[in-house]
Amino acid sequence: MKTLLPVLLLLWAAVSPFAQGDEERSLTLLYSGSLNGNLDGCDCKGNPRAGLVKRAAWLREHGNPDEYVLVDTGDLLDPYPDPALSEAILDTYLELHYVAIAVGDQEFANGLEAALEYRKRYPLLANNLTLCPDENRCIFFSTTAQIVERAGIRIGIFALIDPQVFTLYPEELKCKIKCQDPEAAARNQLLYLDEQQVQATVLLYHGTYEGAKSLARAVNGVDVLILGHEQRLIEPHRIGRTLLASPGEEGNRLGVLTLKIDSRGNIDYDHHFRLFSWKEDPDDPVVRLRIDRYRQVLRGRLDSQ
Amino acid sequence: MPAMKTKISCTLVILGLLLSAASGVALEPGDKAPPFVNLDLSKHHVLSKNYLGRGWVILDFFATDCEGCKKELPVVERLYRDFADSGLEAIVFATDRGGAEVVAPYFQDHPTNLTVLLDHYQVTVKKYGVEEIPSLFLVDPDGLIVHKEIGYTEDLYRIISSIFGS
């Protein structure tokens, strides 16, 4: 037994994920939220908006999508119905290699059927959402979390939506939307991610700051919680073990969070927000072209009225 | 000591089954029905080996807040009543994430003679690639899925009973 124990320890050390040394590994998480349909921006004094056209230019210039994890906390669509604008935005997100986009309440602006269609085509995620388009069936929006690997680190990403965000929506839509308790759903996803042996977990939470804080306190195992919906600008801070942050209003910022994971799984971080400006940042040519096409659609709509 | 060993083996079997959970590959007729282990409403573990490969089994994925599921349940109960003599078993997987707290009161108000299992972690949902509820699988005595029905259909009784008839 005395000789067996050291042998077993050596074997464990050889197969452990950090066997190649004690070095720290780092991973960059880029996060955005609350774009509110701003494919283009506006130099408005009261409510300046940079637009996705600026963020896209920065993302294309600054990186290789294989080296970071790009996520969004939802409400990327305009609150008013506009299928052409919605598709232009979602196509851009897909092109920019977003790996997970939390479903926000505004993603229902074009109706339930449209949201179900987006679910098939884009990396939208909501692990506590069930949609019942008619009285004979209900559809789980997402059954599993997203797992991605960057720099040898397995990251599990899941998204939850707070049922309260639908409070002001019409009854005919609300009765078709079922949101399960975020706490129970979080535990469910964390169990799954633990089985999948991920080394970091990211929760995209679409709801209130209060809800996010109580979730972080109640559920153990979330490393990073990115909050969306209320458009608060929140610098990362810890609630228990969970790092909580929120990128603010109108999709104007991209959070750049570098997680440093040591051999024991402890996570330290560096962080800054990249604030985009409609005046000073360059346009992404592909998105500018998409905006021009969208404007033609708008003109066509106006001419036909 | 033997009791301890049995407990450990049981836990290992359960862990193994949990860890082997497939992630969302939709199963089709002709596929083998994957094994499962879930708690029933009395908090006892129910293992699929007591059902799959032993006779005909209906596996019905359900939730207490799903209208189509509530319409489907009486049809499954009727099928079970009419074909129990032919060895048919019927299992309802309650997928509510709230677990027993939500499911037990529902079945107290709506008693059923079907076996109700909790799948609040949606492990079995993932194994069977279920994305919509109700989803019903009919499994033959060899453990193969012979029919899959997604969403509630008024023809359900006729469809399933015709498979037994044939």
- Residue A237's φ and ψ, nearest 5 degrees, are -150, 160
Residue B112: inside a domain:
yes
Rounded Cα–Cα distance for residues A202 and A71 (Å) = 10
Contact B21 A139 (CB under 8 A): no
* CATH code, residues A23-303: 3.60.21.10
* ipTM over 0.85 threshold: no
Rounded Cα–Cα distance for residues B52 and B91 (Å) = 11
The residue segments making up the domain with residue B39 are 32-165
Cβ proximity of A131 and A120 under 8 Å:
no
Encoded tokens for B91: 């299992």
Residue B47: inside a domain:
yes
**Mean pLDDT, residues B130-157:** 97
Encoded tokens for B44: 């006892």
Domain ranges of chain A: 23-303
For residue A46, pLDDT over 90 is answered with no
For residue B5, pLDDT over 80 is answered with no
Task: Note the pLDDT of residue A24.
Answer: 86
Which tens digits make up the pLDDT trace of A253-271?
999 999 999 988 899 999 9
- The CATH number given to whatever domain includes residue B137 is 3.40.30.10
Altogether, the residues listed in chain B come to a count of: 166
Confirm or reject contact between B120 and chain A (CB < 8 A).
Answer: yes
Q: Is A84 helix (H, G, I), strand (E, B) or coil?
A: helix
Residue A44 pLDDT level (bands cut at 50, 70, 90): confident
The size of the A-B interface in CB pairs under 8 A is 76
Q: Which residue type does A279 have?
A: K
Task: Note the pLDDT of residue A302.
Answer: 87
For residue A48, pLDDT over 80 is answered with yes
- Put the strands of the sheet holding B37-40 in their side by side order: B45-47, B37-40, B115-118, B89-94, B57-62, B135-139, B145-150
Residue B61: inside a domain:
yes
Residue B63: inside a domain:
yes
A116, A130, A131, A179: best mutation site toward chain B, by most B Cβ within 10 Å?
A130
Burial readout A62-85 (b: 16 or more C-beta within 10 A, e: otherwise): eeeeeebbbbbbbbbbbeeebeeb
Question: In chain B, whose CA is at the least distance from the CA of A147?
Answer: B23
Decide which of B12 and A197 is more confident.
Answer: A197
Contact A180 B122 (CB under 8 A): no
Rounded Cα–Cα distance for residues A198 and A145 (Å) = 11
Cβ proximity of A90 and A104 under 8 Å:
no
Q: Which residue type does A126 have?
A: A
Rounded Cα–Cα distance for residues A130 and A119 (Å) = 12
Task: Note the pLDDT of residue A9.
Answer: 57
Confirm or reject contact between B23 and chain A (CB < 8 A).
Answer: yes
Rounded Cα–Cα distance for residues A149 and B138 (Å) = 38
Distance in Å, alpha carbon of B97 to nearest chain A alpha carbon: 6
Residue with tokens 């453990």: B143
Which tens digits make up the pLDDT trace of B41-93?
999 999 999 999 999 999 999 999 999 999 999 999 999 999 999 899 999 99
Task: Note the pLDDT of residue A301.
Answer: 85
Task: Note the pLDDT of residue A18.
Answer: 46
Q: How many Cα atoms sit within 13 Å of B163 on the Cβ side?
A: 20
Task: Note the pLDDT of residue B22.
Answer: 41
| Domain tally, chain B | 1
Q: Are strands A242-247 and B132-133 parallel, antiparallel or unpaired?
A: unpaired
Residue B19 pLDDT level (bands cut at 50, 70, 90): very low
Encoded tokens for A210: 């209060």
Task: Note the pLDDT of residue B9.
Answer: 46
Cβ proximity of A227 and A209 under 8 Å:
yes
Cβ proximity of A161 and A107 under 8 Å:
no
Cβ proximity of A75 and A106 under 8 Å:
yes
Which tens digits make up the pLDDT trace of A54-91?
999 999 998 789 999 999 999 999 999 999 999 999 99
Chain A environment of B134 (Cβ under 8 Å): 137
Task: Note the pLDDT of residue A58.
Answer: 97
Residue B142: inside a domain:
yes
Confirm or reject contact between B131 and chain A (CB < 8 A).
Answer: yes
Beta bridge partners of A146: A157
Residue B156: inside a domain:
yes
Rounded Cα–Cα distance for residues A248 and A252 (Å) = 7
DSSP codes joined into one string, A266-285: -EEEEEEEEE--TTTSPPPH
Task: Note the pLDDT of residue A3.
Answer: 59
